[in-house]
Structure 1
Amino acid sequence: MNVAVVMGGYSDESVISIRSGQLILNNLDRSKYTPFEVHILPEGWHVVIDGKKYPVTKADFSFEKEGIKTNFDVVINTIHGTPGEDGQMQAYWQLLGIPYTGCGFYQSALTFNKRDTLSVLNKFGIPRAASIYLSKGDPVNAQEIADNLGLPFMVKPNQSGSSLGISKVNSLEEFDKALEFAFAEDNDILIESFLKGMEVSVGVLNYKGQTTVLGITEIVSHNDFFDYEAKYQGKSDEITPARLDEETEKKVREVAIKAYEALGMSGFTRSEYIIVNGEPHFIEMNTNPGLSPASIFPQQAGVAGVAMSDLFENEIELALKRKVLFKN
């Protein structure tokens, strides 16, 4: 079975995505699958074999090497950010009839939009921070925002990942800089009340037909919050399993499963929560979690005693089943 392991993307997260792709390539069962390294980057779409690039034909997502055309039976999508985490690539593959891992194009687009995700989950009674939504060019009254949300508060791009463009505003003097930082990533931003409590990252997936919590990781940032530096440059402690009492752990698991199913997820996800007074508050849903060796999801798999090769095989099987359902 020819498997396209698709990585890269058009955002600043492409470097992280390529690391994730390498872990997948290293963990696929070569007795069952023939994996291909596929880069989707602003400079072009290519299959990379022994360091040489072969252009991808966008009409049918195939490539040629030495006059021999290769089509893909299934896609493992590990693009972080656009266009692989916001529904664009998923819609393209679905139109071509190529099965792909992860959730569908609508769920990808929905969860990539923080405001819309929070709006949906609000109907299910899942706690979250109070928030205000702004678009570039909207009139801004900093004092009014502080009066509504209190200080400190968080400013973040509405559609971005890896904590890019996020700031914690401790005083109104910091607000303009935070706005500029967030608007550099997206034309729409979300301003949220600051939640003080333990942050946890929860790996959830559909494993063998059942919504399963892979693990709960406690995040202890060395910085003011879990920013890009904390995530990828060693400025945090990630403790798996999280140091939770039995009752709180049960609540986190229940809320994480509820959010996964409410949003119609399929495949790997990593959802973030901050526990305030024993109640987990939803922060965001990541539908293409990082899979580099230092990432949280592989750490959780290791603690759970589940081989990454088994998880990828499960993902491929889900993708193939979804194609059959879609055809019917």
Structure 2
Amino acid sequence: MKKVAIVAGGNSGEHDISLLSAKNVFDILDKRLFKPYLIHIKGVDWTCTAEDGTVYSIDKNDFSLTMANEKIFFDVVFIAIHGTPGEDGKLQGYFDMLNIPYTGCDLFTSALTFNKYFCNLTVAKLGIPIAASLHFYKGTPIDAENVRQVCGFPCFVKPCNSGSSVGVSKVHNEEELYRATTEAFKHDKQILIEAYLAGKEVTCGVLESKGEIVPLTVTEIISENEFYDFESKYTDNLHSMVTPAPISKEAFQKIMDFSKKIFLFLDCKGVARIDYIVTADGTPYFLEINTIPGQTAMSIIPHQIEYLGKELQETYTEIITNALL
């Protein structure tokens, strides 16, 4: 029986969502094959809580756990941290140094895909449409007229290295631009200002399965808020999902093809979710890729897997087994 450390928490605004994802994985995991341990990471505190409520510290020198006078080493890590340090390459580098296998992408792919600007540049090399955008480091003057000319209004202001739409604002004019950039810089030292694209927001999960890269299906995301922000993502009555997405067959197939191509080109592993906007003329524009997508009961990947008639437990077994290869 393999010992699986499910790491959760992290140091971003997605901390609590990560805990929900990890708990869902913990509950669903096949206990006949795996012995799961839920590891909570918050700043310098790395802990594991036993069934009796006792809290044990993780030895960061070798990522081990001493419980009931037994030193426990893990066979594999299931990374369920959304945001830093789980989705940006930091934990991946740590586990690489300790030679401990883990689920998901490696250090380089994680760091690249977590930065929205540099990921966009990379995906554009595949000929996949992306929105017009501007990139700024903290302290760089932002010319509102240049933003108007390149991106137009409305537009989106986003921290480059953040997930779950944390720190993202939709901006309608120059006055709102200042407030939005100030807010985004609270979350990151880099921001992306991106043109607004009118259309349907859709997403496509991609899974490594039986040696193949398999796009799952395309789901439309309908938000009750102005856009699919943090609140609407994690509040049941503020969003809904339609699978398969009500778009043309051509757009649907193009998204499936794009998603497989992106997953392969970026050397992704395990499971990922890729978001798009489909404009009125049927063109899919790449928005972003999530290399550690949510695994909560209301998350999109579990929804798509269940829609296809697959067992979530079997999927998690496959993800962990592939990480051990």
Shared topology, TM-score over 0.5? yes
Distance in 1 (CA, whole Å) between partners of 2:200 and 2:54 is 46
Q: 1:16 is matched with which residue?
A: 17
**Aligned partners of 2:57 and 2:65: how far apart in 1?**
6
Q: One-letter code of the match for 1:249?
A: F
Using the aligned pairs only, state the percent identity: 41
Q: 1-side partners of 2:185 and 2:194: how far apart?
A: 15
> SS at 1:229's partner residue?
helix
Secondary structure, in 3 states, of the residue corresponding to 2:136? strand
Counterpart residue identity of residue 285, structure 1 = I
CA contact (8 A) 1:241 1:303 kept: no
The yes-or-no answer on 1:239 pairing with 2:270 is no
Q: Map 1:171-186 to 2 at 5 A.
A: 171-186=173-188
Q: Secondary structure at the match of 1:82?
A: coil
Q: Which residue of 2 aligns with 1:273?
A: 276
Kindly indicate whether the alpha-carbon contact (under 8 Å) linking 2:248 and 2:282 is maintained by their aligned counterparts in 1. Answer: no
Q: 2: distance between equivalents of 1:130 and 1:52?
A: 52
Q: Mapping of 1:89-100 within 5 angstroms?
A: 89-100=91-102
Summarize deviations over 1:233-283 as a string: whole Å, max 9, x none: 231211122112222211110111111111111111011000122111100
- Give SS of 1:292's match: coil
Q: Could you tell me which amino acid in structure 1 is paired with residue 158 of structure 2?
A: K
TM (normalized to structure 1)?
Answer: 0.96
Tell me if 1:250 matches 2:257.
no
Shift of 1:119: 1.2
Residues 1:5 and 2:6 aligned together: yes
CA distance, structure 1, for counterparts of residue 49 and residue 213 of structure 2: 34
- Unaligned segments of structure 2, at least 5 residues: none
Q: Which residue of 1 aligns with 2:50?
A: 49
| Equivalent in the alignment of 1:302 | 306
Distance in 2 (CA, whole Å) between partners of 1:48 and 1:309 is 23
**DSSP-derived class of the 1:93 partner:** helix
**Aligned-residue offset at 1:229:** 1.2
- Where in structure 1 do 4 or more consecutive aligned residues deviate above 3 Å? none
Q: Distance in 2 between matches of 1:243 and 1:122?
A: 25
Which residue does 2:291 correspond to in 1?
A: 287
Distance (Å, rounded) in 2 between the aligned partners of 1:311 and 1:102: 13
CA distance in 2, matches of 1:299, 1:270: 12
Q: In structure 1, which of residues 311, 316, 321 is the aligned counterpart of residue 320 of structure 2? A: 316
Question: Which has the higher mean CA deviation after the structures are superposed, 60-69 or 232-241?
Answer: 232-241
Q: Secondary structure at the match of 2:201?
A: strand
Question: Counterparts of 1:76-87 in structure 2 under 5 Å?
Answer: 76-87=78-89
Alignment correspondent of 2:123:
121
In structure 1, how many angstroms separate the alpha carbons of the residues matched to 2:125 and 2:250?
Answer: 24
> For residues 34-72 of structure 1, what are the alpha-carbon distances to aligned partners after superposition, in whole Å with 9 as ceiling and x for unaligned?
111111112500111122211000111101012111100
Q: How much does 1:177 deviate? A: 0.9
* Alignment partners' CA distance in 2, 1:207 and 1:52: 37
Number of aligned residues: 321
Say if 2:156 and 2:194, in contact at 8 Å, map to a contact too. yes
Deviations 1:84-134 (A, max 9, x none): 100111111111111100011110011011111111111111100001001
Q: Tell me whether 1:259 sits opposite 2:265 in the alignment.
A: no
CA distance 1:43–1:94, shift in 2 (3 Å): closer
In the TM superposition, residue 210 of structure 1 has moved relative to its aligned partner by 0.7
Match in the other structure for 1:325 = none
**Where does 1:24-35 land on structure 2 (aligned, <5 Å)?**
24-35=25-36
The residue identity in structure 2 corresponding to 1:12 is G
CA contact (8 A) 1:4 1:74 kept: yes
SS for the counterpart of 1:125 is: coil
* Equivalent position of 1:227 in the other structure: 229
CA distance in 1 between partners of 2:160 and 2:54 (Å):
37
Provide the secondary structure at the position in 2 that maps to 1:294: coil
- Return the match for 1:150 from 149, 152, 155: 152
Between the aligned partners of 1:149 and 1:72, the Cα distance in structure 2 is: 48
For normalisation by structure 2, the TM-score amounts to 0.97
